[in-house]
Amino acid sequence: MDITLSPSIKKIIMRRVHVIWFTRRVLPLLVLETAAVTLIVRQLAESIFFNHVLQNAIVHTFSRSPVMMIDFFFRAFIGTESAVQFLMLGSLLIALLFARDALRAIRAFMLQSNLSPFSRVI
């Protein structure tokens, strides 16, 4: 039995399939990542005065050497409470997850729209 669908019906069906896929697979991850980022940023804002940290870093290290800023931030990280260290590591992990998701989205877009240099055959 050969079933042929008109392009408009196929488009409607595929749109519904994509919405269901997005709702089941992508949306829960986005909600979870957004909640994690909100929680971490809120806790960091309560624990750290970023303005003072950056001001101290510039005053104490930039006059000697810009490379000393790395040492300053490392020592500041080591000198903080363990809760702040966990929050900073959590924010780094969330940033890595966002970067991974962004790279996946860019790669999928490039492959879909034939912008990838590997998708063209000479």
Q: Domain total for the chain?
A: 1
Residue 2 counted as domain residue: no
- Residue 4 counted as domain residue: no
Residue 3, in any domain of the structure:
no
Expressed as residue numbers, the domain containing 45 is 10-115
> Does 45 map to a domain?
yes
In-domain check, residue 41: yes
- 1 part of a folded domain: no
Q: Is the pLDDT reported for residue 91 higher than 80? A: yes
57 touches 73 (CB < 8 A): yes
In a domain, 121, yes or no: no
Between CA 20 and CA 11 the distance in angstroms is 14
What's the pLDDT at 117? 56
- Nearest residue to 25 (alpha-carbon basis) of 113, 118, 121, 101: 101
- 5-64 pLDDT, tens digit per residue, is 788 888 888 888 888 888 888 888 888 888 888 888 888 888 777 777 777 777 777 667
